[in-house]
Amino acid sequence: MRTLLTPDGTRSILDTERKVGALLLLSNEFDALLRAVAKEQAPYATLDTLEQCREALSRVYIAEAA
C-alpha cells in the first residue's frame, strides 16, 4: 500500500483506520456522483463501469453561459 505523506514528508496523512475509512467513503461518493452525472449527460449510453462513465463524460461539451 502506498503511503500518502504531508507536503514536508514528515508525517503520514492516512495514519489511522478512521482516516482510511473516511477516504474510502469519499471515494465511493465521488463514484456515485460520476455515475449520476454520466447517466444524466448520456442517458442512452452503456454505463456499466466507472471507465464507461468517465469516457462518456469526456465527450460531453457544456457551452459557456451567455
pTM for the predicted model, two decimal places: 0.76
Residue type, 55: E
Interval 7-65: pLDDT, tens: 999 999 998 999 999 999 999 999 999 999 999 999 999 999 999 999 999 998 888 98
User: Which residues, at least 6 apart from 14, have a Cβ–Cβ distance to it below 8 Å?
Assistant: 3, 4, 20, 23
pLDDT surpassing 60 at residue 1? no
What pLDDT, on a 0 to 100 scale, did the predictor assign at position 63?
87
Of the candidates 63, 56, 59, the residue with the CA atom closest to the CA atom of residue 36: 56
How does DSSP classify residue 12? Answer: B
